[in-house]
Amino acid sequence: MDRERLTRTLLGVFADAEFFIADRVHEYVNTHWFLRGLVHIEHRGNIYMFIFNNKDIVGINGPYNVNGALLLLTNWTPNMTLQNFNITHTNLWMQLHGILVEYFHQENILNLARTAGEIIAADWHAEETRALQFAKIKIRVAVNAPLISGNYLQTLENIPTWISFKYERIF
C-alpha cells in the first residue's frame, strides 16, 4: 500500500475480540456512521483497515461500535506492522452528571475527570447552558481497565455528592 493511502487509513480492532464478517462491518459503517465520503474496508484476521477519502471525520467522532461491540481505532503510523499491532488505550468522551450548580467550574470538573483517565480535551463551549445537565471531557483510558462509573464531590458543608460518569458512543 502506498503511504498517501495509508495516511487516510485508520486501523481498528474490536475490544471484545469478536470476529465480524467484513461485509457486515462495511454495511454497518455505511448506514450508521453518517460519513461524508467513501470508505473502503479491508481486514486481516481481527484487524480492520478503514481507508477514507477524509479520515478526519471519523477520528474526531470516535470511538465507534458495530452491533454493540466497541471498535477501537488508531491512525496508521510509518513502519507499523500488523503482527505487532495492539491498541492499549483509547480516547472517550465522558459526561459528568449531577454536579451541583455552584460547583460547576473547570477546577472541580477536571479533578473529577482525572479520576477516570488522562484528560485530552474539554468541551467548554456550552458550559453555561449545560450546567444544569452535565460537563463533557475527553479522556484517555486503558482498554483493559474497567470504566469508572463516578466519584464523589465534597461540598463546602462536607457532604459527599455522587457525580456519575457516562461514556459516549461505546454501547
User: Which grid cell sits at 111?
Assistant: 479533578
Residue partners of 94: CB distance under 8 A and separation at least 6:
113, 116, 117, 136, 137, 138, 139, 165, 166, 167, 168
Give me the pLDDT at residue 29, please.
80
Give me the pLDDT at residue 62, please.
65
Rounded-to-integer distance, Cα 98 and Cα 4, Å: 46
Ranges of each domain in the chain: 3-75, 89-167
Contact yes or no for 99/153 (Cβ under 8 A) = yes
pLDDT in tens for each of the 171 residues of the chain? 788 788 888 888 888 766 677 778 888 887 777 677 778 888 888 888 888 887 666 555 667 777 778 888 888 888 888 887 888 888 899 999 999 989 988 999 999 999 999 999 998 775 555 556 899 999 999 988 999 999 999 999 999 999 999 998 886
Give me the pLDDT at residue 163, please.
98
Angle at 110 between CA 148 and CA 16, to 5 degrees: 30
User: Which grid cell sits at 64?
Assistant: 465507534
Give me the pLDDT at residue 124, please.
77
Give me the pLDDT at residue 31, please.
78
Helix, strand, coil share (%) of the chain residues, nearest 5: 20, 35, 40
Give me the pLDDT at residue 46, please.
82
Residue partners of 79: CB distance under 8 A and separation at least 6:
none
Give me the pLDDT at residue 19, please.
64
Q: 3-75 architecture in CATH?
A: 2-Layer Sandwich (3.30)
pTM: 0.79
Q: Quick check: bond before 78 cis, omega within 30? A: no
For residue 118, give the nearest of 103, 139, 133, 137 by alpha carbon.
139
Partnered with residue 115 across adjacent β-strands are none
Rounded-to-integer distance, Cα 137 and Cα 167, Å: 10
User: Which grid cell sits at 32?
Assistant: 450508521
